[in-house]
Amino acid sequence: MFTAQQIALLVNAKIEGDPNIIVSSFGKIEEAKEGQLTFFANPKYEDFLYTTTASVVLLNENFVLKLPIKATLLRVADAYSAFAILLNKYQAIQAQQLEGIQQPVYISPSAKIDEKVFIAAFTYIGENVKIGKNVKLFAGVSLGNNVEIDDNTILHAGVKIYEGCKIGKNVIIHAGTVIGGDGFGFAPQANGSYQKIPQIGNVIIEDFVEIGANTTIDRATIGSTIIRTGVKLDNLIQIAHNVEVGNNTVIAAQAGVSGSTKIGKNVMIGGQAGIVGHITVADGSKINGQSGVSKSITEPNQAVTGSPAYDYTAALRSQAVVRKLPELEKRIKELENQLSQILALESKS
């Protein structure tokens, strides 16, 4: 439980109302009850601002109220960001309460495990694994031989990390994700069969990365598949062998990146986008959902869409023209009729 005053200190807020009012949980603005904290950032929800029974409301410092509100207000520069900070603090407090090793588990005698870890039941930890401080491994996590997990990382239920992969600090990997499965490497043979190419590399995930549920990141054929610092991956994403994803890039659900492609920093990739192999995507690129990127994007900060993907602004103009095609066809026919009449008159004269 926290007072409005304590919360205000965490997010640098100005208090309007009772600073000693207590909240113990969070709620959506349309559902929040007494004793809960909520936030208001989207104008679409303004009506709920005046009817909510929440005890504390976070809102932007420049928002002008149209009606009085019973709740204590915490005014901040950005209500959405402040709410995210509070949720992170709340989650961190809950995580700190988890510590120790449940049973049954298998931990190799050669594994090195630091202090204050939490290892849930049915976890498997292979030979020479290294686990840092404050790591949380939930039920059914499997760590292959020579895996390294650095400080403050959380692996949720059923995460599988294959041998030799390295996970950095403050990483969150959600349930069912597989890190380090074999890349899709097969050499066609003269008789029509395929010879498997051994995948002997690994996956390196740097610090402050978050990976959604049921995502797969394949190990490199040789070398490393690399997910750089600050990357955020949604659920159900496929990252192929030897791919490199640059710092602070975000990729939405069901996107796929083919082998050996290099994605730059601060790239935004929409859901269900597909990127072919052996190309580069420049820093700051924006790839619209369901786009198919078939060649390198070399100019930084370019937005693309479509399949094959091309310049976003040009694509919008093309779409506008396509919508007008029936009207243009009608006008062309009218012009053809007029031209025919003029030619007919000229032939008579």
Name every residue whose Cβ is closer than 8 Å to that of residue 269 and which is 6 or more positions away in sequence.
249, 250, 251, 252, 255, 263, 275, 287
What does the alpha-carbon distance between residue 190 and residue 206 come to, in Å, rounded to a whole number? Answer: 41
3-class DSSP assignment, residue 47: helix
Task: Say if strands 244-245 and 262-263 run parallel, antiparallel, or are unpaired.
Answer: parallel
3-class DSSP assignment, residue 311: strand
- Residue 112 near residue 130, CB atoms below 8 Å: yes
What does the alpha-carbon distance between residue 307 and residue 153 come to, in Å, rounded to a whole number? Answer: 37
Listed residue (237, 241, 240, 174) closest to 209, CA to CA: 174
3-class DSSP assignment, residue 312: helix
For tokens 């992969």, the residue is: 165
Label residue 180 left, alpha or beta by phi (over 0 means left) and psi (-120 to 50 means alpha): left
What does the alpha-carbon distance between residue 48 and residue 44 come to, in Å, rounded to a whole number? Answer: 9
Query: Which residues are catalytically annotated?
Result: 241
For tokens 């402040």, the residue is: 82
Q: Residue-wise over 260-269: b if at least 16 C-beta within 10 A, else e?
A: bbbbbbbbbb
For tokens 């900070």, the residue is: 85
* Strand locations in 61-126 (E): 72-76, 100-101, 106-107, 112-113, 118-119, 124-125
